[in-house]
Amino acid sequence: MKNGVESLGRIRAQGVAILLLTFVVGVLVGFAGERIRSARRAELPPLPPAMGPDMTARFRQGNLPAMFRRLNLTPEQARQIAAIMENGRPRSDAILDEMLPRLRAVTDSIRQEIGAVLTAEQAALWDSLAAHERRGRMRERMPGRRGGRGAPPPPIP
């Protein structure tokens, strides 16, 4: 009977070790992927600003995103595409209005779960890093703002 209990303990320990190893590998792969993605993003031209009233007005004037300008559209094609995009905007806005609150709720829940795992010091640093990242994304979406991405992220103690 004792061998069976010892064997069960060993199996449990191996399972925990495999789970931890999988977690560590996932973190490392995620970190490497993010580094590669960041490097590639730095090489790409900036994305056009997000859809908004400003963008819709530009579409009406025939100023389509660069992707369409590369197609050498006729003025009539550009007008038709601008109209299609403008007419489709209420549908996409309705979907976003419906989905964003649900997505935010899930994101908030995930943040709370992660925060429960971290020490107080780690949680404070994590909040600071996340806020810096959100500010950086906001600056990227707001063309014409000065200052680039802002200050570097807070140092890791």
Tell me, rounded to whole angstroms, the distance of Cα 6 from its chain centroid: 46
Q: Is residue 131 part of a domain?
A: no
Q: Is residue 83 part of a domain?
A: no
Cα separation, 129 vs 152, whole angstroms: 10
Residues in the chain, pLDDT under 50: 44, 46-50, 145, 147-149
* N- to C-terminal Cα separation, the chain: 50
User: What is the predicted pLDDT for the residue at 48?
Assistant: 46
Q: Is residue 9 part of a domain?
A: yes
Q: 92-115 burial, b if ≥16 CB within 10 A, otherwise e?
A: eeeeeeeeeeeeeeeeeeeeeeee
Q: Is residue 108 part of a domain?
A: no
Q: Is residue 39 part of a domain?
A: yes
Cβ atoms 81, 68 nearer than 8 A: yes
Q: Is residue 1 part of a domain?
A: yes
Q: Is residue 8 part of a domain?
A: yes
User: What is the predicted pLDDT for the residue at 141?
Assistant: 60
Q: Is residue 6 part of a domain?
A: yes
Cα separation, 68 vs 75, whole angstroms: 12
The count of other CB atoms within 10 Å of the CB of residue 59 is 21
Residues 6+ apart with CB under 8 A from 30: none
Q: Record the pTM.
A: 0.39
- Domain extent, residue 7, equals 1-44
Count up the domains in the chain and report the number. Answer: 1
Cα separation, 76 vs 73, whole angstroms: 8
